Amino acid sequence: MPMDLTVYERVMNSGYLGDIKARNLDEVRALRAECQRLEGNLSYLRRLVQGRLDIVADTAARALAGEPRGELADLVARLPSSMGDHLLSPTSGRLTETMGPGPDPTITADLDAICATDDLGKLASLDVSDLVVMRNRLVELEREVSVRRRLVFERLDALSAEIGRRYREGEVSVDTLLD
């Protein structure tokens, strides 16, 4: 998966946290911010994968049931029902706060290799077997992204716990938040 692979591999390196207790607070906060950006990118990718998966799965289910798949306009009309479990609220929330200036430009490389945005308009013309293969590949990509995201959360939890410990034990003062 090319998305943030260099950053991801560095964050997952066993020495990434090092002796976290020996690091100064600014270092720990910088590591946490890096993990938050990586998690934001992974969350963004996961949402994109889930959206395309819902669309492909709906089209595959219709094809397998022998129902007409319709054209692009029909696909667009079915979006609210096929994506019902994954619709976003009107606000962007935490995601845009943690991604930084924007998502990694390579974020969708693997997703686009399976099902590019342009491919969505061509789903009605695909064979059922091609739709099933595409759906299965999207399911696998979603699992892979979810596993990576979960591992990044473990790093985030460790960093946040260390920051919290320092405040609880008086190693740093809440006044440092105002600096």
| Ranges of each domain in the chain | 5-87+107-173
- pLDDT of 66 reads 87
3-state SS class at 174? helix
CA distance 173 to 136: 51
- pLDDT of 70 reads 66
pLDDT tops 50 at residue 106: yes
Higher pLDDT, 173 or 89: 173
pLDDT tens digits for 109-148? 889 999 988 888 889 889 999 999 999 999 999 999 999 9
Integer CA distances (angstroms), 81 to 54, 67, 118, 122, in order: 9, 16, 21, 19
Give the chain's mean pLDDT: 83
pLDDT tops 70 at residue 155: yes
- pLDDT of 114 reads 94
Mean per-residue pLDDT, 57-71 = 84
